Amino acid sequence: MTSEIWTEKYRPTNFEGFVGQEEIVKRIKNLVSSLNIPHLLFAGPAGTGKSTLALIVVKQLFQDSWRENYLELNASDERGIDVVRQKVKDFARTKSLGTVPFKVIFLDEADALTREAQQALRRTMENYTTTCRFLLSCNYSSKIIDPIQSRCAVFRFKLLEKKDINKVIKRIAETEKLEVDEKAASTIYEASEGDCRRVINLMQSTASISPRITKELVETIVSSAKPSDIKVVLDYALAGDYVNAKEKLLDIMLKESLSGQDMLKAIQKEVWGLDIDPELKVRLTEKVGEVEFRMVEGSDEFVQLQALLASFMLAGQGKL
């Protein structure tokens, strides 16, 4: 059953198999059939089909020789714009094979680039525009500078709707011979927040335990993805026991090999679920937000987490 990762196994390879984004698929199909596509910008949340659609476009354009004419880069994984440009240069140097006169470069998470890096990217796009088409992908189009947006046809991807997600669930359940009842499907949809990749990963994870996927099973998997015992840390802190809260915090980070940011995310979710005075909840969340801000700015994770525990301690005593 599980000798392949399902997100790859069930990734559609043609327009017909694509779920959701009907308008976009129509427009893209037309562009591809005219064999002349401009630079493209795919904007939208994670798991809505941007990379998949890019791969379909490329396969339709180049058929069997798609691997030679396609370069996939991820802006947040590469070490800076110079490395990206070097790779683009090396790739763009050779001509395209086949009837299509250009090659395609897919740059994922383009919004991870700074403004300066994007300016540099724009120049690269201009330099190689005759031999290469750029396909940019991002979560927030507002983070892409105007000069790049104006050079691209922009497509805004939406979160998948329940009907789309149900389609995906059904397709997989049929092939993998799983039993997914309606309540389970609803739970999967809620947990996924419209992210198709999350849906498929959840399904594969639950299926690895049992082919009968129930609401309870899904909930177990979802909660096991959260670090255990965070609540214990907060309980200690709110009760004024700083020392134990700190020990437990470090203990959990060690056991589950979590980073400070991971811990913070988990704490923030826990805070929202606490049964406390709304005003207090707001103040605690403010503190959490401030700590996250500082962490992102480059402060020491552990010092800041401890400060957070200390303010929880004050909150518990009504002194925050």
Partner 1 sequence: MSFAEKYKPKSLKEIKGQELAAAKLKEFVESFPNKRKACILYGPSGCGKTASVYAFANEKDAEIMELNASDFRDRKIISEVVGGASNQKSLFKKTKIILIDEVDGISGFYDKGGLLELVRIIDLSCFPIVMTANHIWDKKFSDLRRLGELIEFKELNSNVVFSLLKEITRKENLNFNDDLLKNIAIKSRGDVRAALNDLQTIDSSTKDLSERDKEENIFNVLKQVLKNRPAENMLELYEKLDMSLDEVYLWLEENLPREYKGEELARAIDLLSRADVFRGRIIRQQHWRFLIYQNFFLSYGVSASKKQAKTGFTSYKRPDRVLKIWMINQKNLVKKEIAKKFARYCHISFRRAMQEFDFMKNVLKNLDIQQKLGLEEKEKEYLKNI
Residue of 104, 221, 234, 264 that binds partner 1 (CB under 8 A): 221
Instruction: Give me the 274-303 binding string for partner 1, x by CB under 8 A, dash otherwise.
Output: --------------------x--xxxx-xx
Task: Report the b/e string of 25-53 with b at 16+ CB within 10 A.
Answer: beebbeebeeeebebbbbbbebbbbbbbb
DSSP 99-163: SSS-EEEEEETGGGS-HHHHHHHHHHHHHTTTTEEEEEEES-GGGS-HHHHHTEEEEE--PPPHH
Structural contact between residues 129 and 94, judged by C-beta atoms closer than 8 angstroms? no
- The yes or no reply on residue 74 touching partner 1 (CB under 8 A) is yes
CB closer to partner 1 out of 118 and 205:
205
Residue of 22, 23, 68, 83 that binds partner 1 (CB under 8 A): 83
- The yes or no reply on residue 197 touching partner 1 (CB under 8 A) is yes
C-alpha closest to that of 245 among 278, 267, 224, 265: 267
Smallest gap from residue 320 Cβ to partner 1 (A):
9
Which part of the chain contacts partner 1 (CB under 8 A), choosing from 61-69, 121-129, 165-173, 255-263? 255-263
**Residue 144's Cα: distance from chain center in Å?**
17
Structural contact between residues 53 and 25, judged by C-beta atoms closer than 8 angstroms? yes
CB closer to partner 1 out of 61 and 202:
202
Q: Summarize as ranges the residues that interact with partner 1 (CB under 8 A).
A: 2-5, 7-8, 46, 51, 55, 72, 74, 76-77, 79-80, 82-83, 108-109, 197-198, 201-202, 204-205, 208-209, 221-222, 224-226, 240, 242-243, 246, 250, 253-254, 256-259, 294, 297-300, 302-304, 306-307, 310-311, 313-314, 317, 319
